[in-house]
Structure 1
Amino acid sequence: MRLTNLTNDYYTPRQLKLPLEIEKLIDISDPVYTFCEVMDHIDLSKFFVVKGYKTGRPRCDQQKLLKVILFAFMENGISSLRDIEKLCRNDIRYLYLLDGMKAPSFATFGNFIRNELTDSIEQIFLDVNAYIFQQDHVDLEHTYIDGTKIEANANRYTWVWKKSCTKNRSKVFEKISMLIDAMNQEVLGYFNLKLEKREEYAIDYVSKLLELYKKGTGLDESTFVSGCGHRKSIYQKQYQELQGYLERLKTYAHHIEICGEERNSYSKTDHDATFMRLKKDYMGNDQLLPAYNLQMAVCDEYIAIVEVKPYASDMECFVPLMEKFYETYGHYPKYPVADAGYGSYNNYLYCEEHGMEKYMKFTMFKKETNDKKYHENPYRAVNFQRDEFGNLLCPNGRRFRFKCKRPVYRNQYGRTEELYECESCEGCQHKSECCPKALGNRTIRMNEELTTIHQEVISNLESIQGALLRMNRSIQAEGTFGILKWDKSYKRLFRRGEKNVILELTLISCGYNIYKYHNKKQRKELAA
């Protein structure tokens, strides 16, 4: 008799294969252990206030969320929130960091970054740096500075130019003056009224003119007509024309206010982004793109300070970067090393004022040191000879007479430069080489203080220590951007607004420093 087999197989061949301890599955040299070492020495409780809720689901552990996010940025440089959610479900290392907590959704990570980390991420970054710098004995006296322009998360064709707004506003002023003349002549003269013209019109004054015109003519806006088959009265035409000019003035004033005094443009989709020239031009026509100027101060291969500015020039970013360095570490670096983009008169005087050595190249440093023909050119003003009375002499022996003193352009320390004019360039056989474009006598500008500073900079950078510092800057500062932009494929911002951009870049810098610390630690262990 055949028996029916009622046995059910409630098992799989993979059942009970995983060990009870997840650590046994993770390699001993995995970065997650170095990451946990750093995070365990930081008090994260002070950054997150525990809030009690009587209803709803319990909140996710914020410290675990932070660890997962930082570890993702440590490994990938920049991570999609959906990728982080997927890693939390499948990657054993992320399960190890979650420590039994259910994998959060991408929305949970997004809300946590936006609501909790925006104000506290910079302090978390400093605490991470404090532990790493102490363990690795980082030298904060030698700081290597560099910057790069990174494209903003903004539309490339939504530009606003401050110069265009200023020019168009002047045209509106002229049109308002012409309209006021027409109002006084065609309408207001019959009511014994007259509107006053001005060279420039404030928004409040134009609003006052509208009220005066409306009150003087007894105009009622409810009687206005529009559309086909209706003829507008002269009162309505003039009133609505002035209204249109008022709206244009408000628009231009709004654009100029957003640009501020130090910028010439901004993007409509990200008001903090400025249009700059980037090294990578997508259109191939030297087109300006919305971008931020990312500045970093690197010490012993670690990012000590990260700053974002909407300025196209690196010269304007040096002082804010050093001020942030001082606020963070309590002192200025003894040797700030930077390329020729930072060597300006203001920055050199700032270094003198705060006890920093001058190891920043100036614009013509390469020609001064490598181009012998340029350096010894007898027609340069710095190479002119002087007579027994101290007067400058050109190569033809003609004297230069002192003309005047004037402030140095955009100098913040009240410095001046001297202008000298040649007594006569008429009939000089050297004119074609000395000053071919001068219509009259040649005029030169002399700034003895700046010339002395340039000689000091050349002496510093041409020394053995200066050569080593220049070499280290090209390795450490530019190498940091190379890792982030090419190895980690981070070439465009993902967030909008200067505050959110700093949040994004600080997260990346925090992950970069922890990964750099892990690599150095592994190299030391192999060497031992």
Structure 2
Amino acid sequence: FTQVVLLLCEEGLLSIKELYTDGTKIEANANRYTFVWGNSMKANREKMKQQLNELWQYAQSVAAFELNDTDPSGFDKIDSEKVNQTIDSINAALKDKDVSKEVRQKLNYAKKNWPATLDRYEQQERILGENRSSYSKTDNDATFMRMKEDHMKNGQLKPGYNVQISTNNQYIASYSVHQNANDTNTLIGHVQQHIEQFGQKPANITADAGYGSEQNYQWLEKKRITAYIKYNQFDRMQNETLRRKQSFSVDQLQYDAENNQFLCPIGEPMQHKSWTIVETKAGYPQIMDKYQAKDCKGCILNGVCNTQEENRIIEVSLNNVRLKKAAEKRLKTKRGLQKRKQRCFDTEPAFANIKHNHHFKRFMLRGIEKVSIETGLLALAHNLRKKVA
């Protein structure tokens, strides 16, 4: 694939310096109805902890003396070993006590089922890793995602992969396969792979609002890659009617950099109070500053601008504000307008050709390594077909 792309570059048919990036979900070769959910495991763990704590409290109420030398060390975190030890202690303490049949049944059920269940959960959590919330039992690398191609016509999730491509002149310049359904968290890995593949970084990259995050803007700025990437409210802010409806939002407030304060809608200063570091879901440390207005009760806009009981407080990332303003400025330039228009008819035809013209809507192989090879063959075939067409 890389050799063909470089040959096409030599012929002047495409450039690996100017990229138009987009993604699509393609269904995995996996059973659509056998899955593991991370949230379900968390909820079941909490139920076990609660029930174990209730059994322990009950045992203490009827056999406090027998449990006097036993220390459960709390139930904040439970595993199969801890469950076995705790239940054995409770059974020993209640051995000669008059205990209801219901309690005995609960203890027997817990002893028989919980340790094996917790061991299974540990194994499943290792497969999930840190960034996924689900996986398919027939293809452990596939994540359940919402897709446009819906055989049930009810918006249900299906096992699949998030395929990212960067195009130029409707040729695929690079591709990557991800287990994360969110496009925002795929951009950095995708561009890094492109750099490793060709030994050089792109000059600029154009993408839609799904990729516009502080983390992505910051990383591209550090790499000195010009980003023509919208943020999530960009299109909305270009519509004057919608912009007026958002006139009291944080994005619309004016920032006074000299005094490190925001100005409320009537021009009164909102003073800086504190700051904190918040980690996003993707693990990016975001510095959030807090600003508060002086007197909202006497303001004519109170109840409209401020819906809080106290004086209005806003939390904002100043770095994100700076990066978004820089992105907006680039996007509104003549070159930015041209890039935004070209992105629509540069990446979409590649996906349409693969999925609609050639009816490829489901992978034939299983596992992300094999799926990546399959994606590479698809991309290679697309480029060759376009070259000879």
- TM-score clears 0.5: yes
CA distance in 1, matches of 2:165, 2:317: 31
CA distance in 1, matches of 2:262, 2:54: 55
Q: Which residues of 2 match residues 270-309 of structure 1 at below 5 A? A: 270-309=139-178
Q: Which residues of 2 match residues 220-369 of structure 1 at below 5 A? A: 238=107, 241-369=110-238
1:110-133 per-residue CA deviation (whole Å, 9 max, x = no partner) reads xxxxxxxxxxxxxxx223333333
CA distance in 1, matches of 2:249, 2:58: 59
Taking a change above 3 Å as real, the CA distance of residues 188 and 412 of structure 1, as seen in their structure-2 partners, is closer
Segments of structure 2 that go 5 or more residues without pairing to the other structure are 96-100
Q: Which residues of 2 match residues 21-170 of structure 1 at below 5 A? A: 125-136=1-12, 138-170=14-46
Q: 1:204 aligns with which of 81, 88, 106?
A: 81
Taking a change above 3 Å as real, the CA distance of residues 362 and 391 of structure 1, as seen in their structure-2 partners, is closer
State the secondary structure of the residue aligned to 2:236: helix
- Return 360-369 or 298-307, whichever deviates more: 298-307
- Return 200-209 or 460-469, whichever deviates more: 200-209
CA contact under 8 A between 1:400 and 1:422: conserved in structure 2? yes
Q: 1:405 Cα deviation (Å)? A: 0.7
- Return 172-181 or 467-476, whichever deviates more: 172-181
Aligned match of 2:301: 430
CA contact under 8 A between 1:326 and 1:332: conserved in structure 2? yes
- Return 326-335 or 274-283, whichever deviates more: 274-283
1:377-414 per-residue CA deviation (whole Å, 9 max, x = no partner) reads 54234544579966534234544232211225427664
2:289 maps to 1:418: yes
State the secondary structure of the residue aligned to 1:341: helix
1:470-519 per-residue CA deviation (whole Å, 9 max, x = no partner) reads 22221121110011111111112222221121122111111111111212
Taking a change above 3 Å as real, the CA distance of residues 397 and 208 of structure 1, as seen in their structure-2 partners, is same
Q: 1:198 Cα deviation (Å)? A: 2.1
State the secondary structure of the residue aligned to 1:433: coil
State the secondary structure of the residue aligned to 1:289: strand
The alignment's C-alpha RMSD in Å is 3.2
Taking a change above 3 Å as real, the CA distance of residues 493 and 389 of structure 1, as seen in their structure-2 partners, is closer
Taking a change above 3 Å as real, the CA distance of residues 179 and 197 of structure 1, as seen in their structure-2 partners, is farther
CA distance in 2, matches of 1:301, 1:169: 49
Q: 1:509 aligns with which of 356, 379, 384?
A: 379
TM-score, L = length of structure 1: 0.64
Aligned match of 2:359: 489
Write the letter of the residue equivalent to 1:248: T
CA distance in 2, matches of 1:192, 1:412: 44
CA distance in 2, matches of 1:350, 1:197: 44
Aligned match of 2:338: 468
2:320 maps to 1:443: no
State the secondary structure of the residue aligned to 1:470: helix
CA distance in 2, matches of 1:451, 1:188: 59
TM-score, L = length of structure 2: 0.85
1:429-486 per-residue CA deviation (whole Å, 9 max, x = no partner) reads 3134313x43333211233332232222222222222222222221121110011111
- Return 167-176 or 184-193, whichever deviates more: 184-193
Taking a change above 3 Å as real, the CA distance of residues 210 and 175 of structure 1, as seen in their structure-2 partners, is closer
Structure with the higher fraction of residues in strand conformation = 2
Aligned match of 1:14: none
CA distance in 2, matches of 1:211, 1:380: 58
Aligned-pair identity in percent equals: 30
CA distance in 2, matches of 1:148, 1:236: 50
Question: Which has the larger Rg?
Answer: 1
Q: 1:339 Cα deviation (Å)? A: 0.9
Segments of structure 1 that go 5 or more residues without pairing to the other structure are 1-124, 220-231, 520-528
Aligned residues: 379
- Return 503-512 or 313-322, whichever deviates more: 503-512
Q: 1:183 Cα deviation (Å)? A: 6.3
CA contact under 8 A between 2:39 and 2:133: conserved in structure 1? yes
